[in-house]
Every structure is written in structure tokens, then in C-alpha cells.
Amino acid sequence: MSDAGIRPTTGDSSWFVHDRFGLFIHWGLYALAARHEWVKHREEIPDERYDAYFRRFDPDLYDPAAWADAAAAAGMKYFVITTKHHEGFCLWDSALTDYKAPNTPAGRDLLRPAVEAFRARGLRVGFYHSLIDWHHPQYVLDVIHGPYRNSPDRDAMNRGRDQQRYADYLHGQVRELLTGFGRIDALWLDFSYPRPDGTGKGRADWRSEELYRLVRELQPGVMLNDRLDLPDGWDFKTPEQVQPRGWLTVGGQRVVWEACQTFSGSWGYHRDEAEWKSVEQLVRMLIDTVSKGGNLLLNVGPTGRGEFDARALDRLAGMGGWMKRHSRSIYGCTQAPAEFVTPQDCRLTWNPDTRRLYVHVFAWPFKHLHLPGLAGRVEYAQLLNDASEIRMRGPEPWQMEKMGGSPDANLLTLTLPVAKPDVVVPVIELFVK
């Protein structure tokens, strides 16, 4: 894949920019609250009340192979799972804390079975690990995070707390995660919030430079996200819950990027959230992302019983149905060269290795689709879903002569069936000379 002008990464980006589509999993005690992974912060729930979830966490229906099957069937090629979210609860059997899954009714490490199941299914492995920790006794509580953010006792509670001892814990757990589970392909540290008045947290609070060196020492090829508050210590940018207007740039240079998105707004399981995106919206988001040279990391929040709920499974299956016939317009594809003009209501993706241009038709036109500048440059065209030929024509030589320099002189016109193909987003595959 042509990477001219793209900011180089330290991690191995070859699979990342090819695979394009991954599964984010947010799973922790907040799944029992079932009303957003920030519930402890939003409702200012003190530890003693939040511990009810710790005592009740018993995912008896947990079957990571079923999770991996659903992700693979959706066309996802990698997964990123929360090892610990802001609440501080750890899914794996960490030697550095008792606040972990083996000490709940689950009674076992829940991270390792997921890594093994997804790896066995052929997906690459990524870890999300929260820099923030609302449970650790040394984490200095601040005005933005945690259940005590508005507490009059916050300053008293911070007395004796040493953020650097928390940073030691943070580094120790990152070491456990990067040495105990084989090759880790992506690391998603989350998140820094430096503030001019010093009330936030950033590189000094995590000892980010030292942590970055540790990550590179232990997993040199890992793709590292951009939330350590380091100007250069990152491999990819992470727009969240938005669709960028175009290929992301830093200092005018295009960068590797991955948009992370939810089905319904919450990252953790949310029983009552109603604004679930449709399969068509989700497929269009995936296409739109790749058309701008990015990856989509799409999130599921499993339930407290350890399952993907029916709404999530429905969306994953719907995306898989489209990916089954259209994945080659996603994998190995990127933004089309600027010379290819995007037709109205469409998105273009481009595979530079096969020289195939994919026209994703968001609104099915009546009979014709016009592609400026492509006359004489396309060998063949077909509908991707059923490989049925799409007939095309350019202006006749005498017409081109008559039109002279008109932009229509090189207009390629495709003749489409009147009825939209029975797929979520039809795609036309053009074999470019």
C-alpha cells in the first residue's frame, strides 16, 4: 500500500492499515450497573456502595469463543479489550492488586480466555488499559474524575496519597500485560487530561516517557495510541465518537488513525440506552472511515452475565452480512487518489495493489452514475455483491473532439439496474488500467 507522505509509525502498522476493522470491548463491574462505564463518576458512587458490583460480578454465561465468532463473522480482524477501565477493576489475575476478577464470584482470570479465543479465531490482540484509576489508594483524586470529585473531603482524602506510587503500580501492571499474554498487537492507554491550572493529569503523573520506553522494550512492534500526553510517543490518532471530515493530519502530515465508535453512545453495557445506530449507519461509517484512510474500532459492552446482548449481535450480524460480499472494498483499501472524483452520494475506496476502485453508492441513482476523468481508464466494472457486469461508456472520439477541453470529455458513464441491489450499501468494483 502506498504510504507516501504518511507519518511513519514505530509499531508495525502493516496489518493495521490493511485490516481496517476491529472490535472494541468494554467490560467491567460497570456492566452490572448497566448505565454507562462512567456511572461511578457520574453518580458519585462511593467505594463501599460500588463494591456491591464487585461482590456480585458473576459472568456465568461468559463464552469468549462466542464473542470471537461474532467478531470474526462481522468481518473484524482485531480486538481491543479493557484490561482495566477507570473504575480500577482488573479482568486478569494481576499480582499487584486484589481488585480483580479472580476475587469476585467469577473466581478466575477473564482476560486470558478472551486472548486465547480471539487469537485462535485469527484475530489480532489489543489491550485497552486505563491510566486513570478511581479505586487505587495512591491515585490523587481530582476535580474531573472519580466519585469524590465534588466531595468536601477530597483534599483530606488526598493527604498521604502519592501519585508516583500509583505510577509505579501503573507501570507494573503494563509490564504484566505486555509480558504475560504473548504478542500484543495494539495498546490503547486512556487518557491524559493535562490542564494549565495543574488540576488535570498528564505525562508527569504517569511518567509517560518512562512508560513509553517500557512499552517499546517489551513489545517493540505494538501499535500505540496517542493518549499518553507525549508529542511524539504514539503511532495512531484516536478520534472518538465522531466521523472526521477527511484523512487526519498532524503538522500538515497525514497520520495513521482509528476512529472508535459505539453502537448506542455508551462504551459499557447500557440496558436502557435507546439511540442504537442502524446496520446501514454502521456500514456507512465503516466505508466513510476507510474512504478517508482510517480504521474503525467498533465497541460492544458485554452484559454482567458475560454475553453480547441481542442488539449488539444483531448489528454485528448485519455488518457481517455486508462484509461477506464486500470486504475486499475494505481490507487493503484506503483513500482513493485525488484524481478520482467522488460521484454524488457515494464514497470511494481504493486498493493500490490490485488497482481496483470501489464506488460505494449511498443513494441509488436512476440508471446512470457518472465518473469524471475515468473514460478510457477502466477495463471492466461489476457489482461486487454478485459479480454482475456493469456496462459503461465514455464519449465517442468525435464527441470528445467536439467537447474539446470540457470536463465531460473524459466522463465515464455506468449504466446501473433500475432496482437497487438488495444489499445495505451497493458497491461497484472498477478494474482500473
Binding mask 365-384 for ligand GLC (x = CB under 6 A): --------------------
Parallel/antiparallel/unpaired status of strands 295-300 and 21-25? parallel
Nearer to ligand GLC, 238 or 385 (CB): 238
Which residue from 69, 240, 309, 314 is in contact with ligand GLC, where contact means CB under 6 A? 240
Judged by CB under 6 A, how many residues of this single chain contact ligand GLC? 8
Buried b (16+ CB within 10 A) or exposed e, 372-409: bebbebbeebebbbeeeebebebbeeeebeeeeeeeeb
Backbone angle region of 88, left / alpha / beta, with phi > 0 → left and psi within -120 to 50 → alpha: left
Output the smallest distance, CB 241 to ligand GLC, in A.
Answer: 8
Output the smallest distance, CB 139 to ligand GLC, in A.
Answer: 15
Which residue from 191, 193, 362, 364 is in contact with ligand GLC, where contact means CB under 6 A? 191
Output the smallest distance, CB 391 to ligand GLC, in A.
Answer: 45
Cβ-proximal residues to 184 (8 Å cutoff; 6+ apart), any chain: 125, 126, 127, 177, 178, 219, 222
165 CB-side CA count, 13 A: 9
Cβ-proximal residue to ligand GLC, closest one: 191
Amino acid identity of residue 289, one-letter, is T
Counted residue by residue, the chain has a size of 433
Residue 217 CB burial class (10 angstroms; 0-12, 13-18, ≥19): exposed
Output the smallest distance, CB 111 to ligand GLC, in A.
Answer: 16
Nearer to ligand GLC, 191 or 276 (CB): 191
369 CB-side CA count, 13 A: 31
Nearer to ligand GLC, 54 or 267 (CB): 267
For residues 315 and 282, the answer to whether their CB atoms sit within 8 Å is yes
Output the smallest distance, CB 35 to ligand GLC, in A.
Answer: 13
Which residue from 134, 267, 322, 358 is in contact with ligand GLC, where contact means CB under 6 A? 267
Cα 113 to Cα 117: distance, rounded to the nearest angstrom: 6
Cα 33 to Cα 271: distance, rounded to the nearest angstrom: 9
The residues that bridge with 189 in the sheet, in sequence order, are: 129
Output the smallest distance, CB 289 to ligand GLC, in A.
Answer: 15
260 binds ligand GLC (CB under 6 A): yes
Binding mask 25-64 for ligand GLC (x = CB under 6 A): -x----------xx--------------------------
Output the smallest distance, CB 297 to ligand GLC, in A.
Answer: 8
Nearer to ligand GLC, 192 or 351 (CB): 192
Q: Contact positions toward ligand GLC, by CB under 6 A?
A: 26, 37-38, 190-191, 240, 260, 267
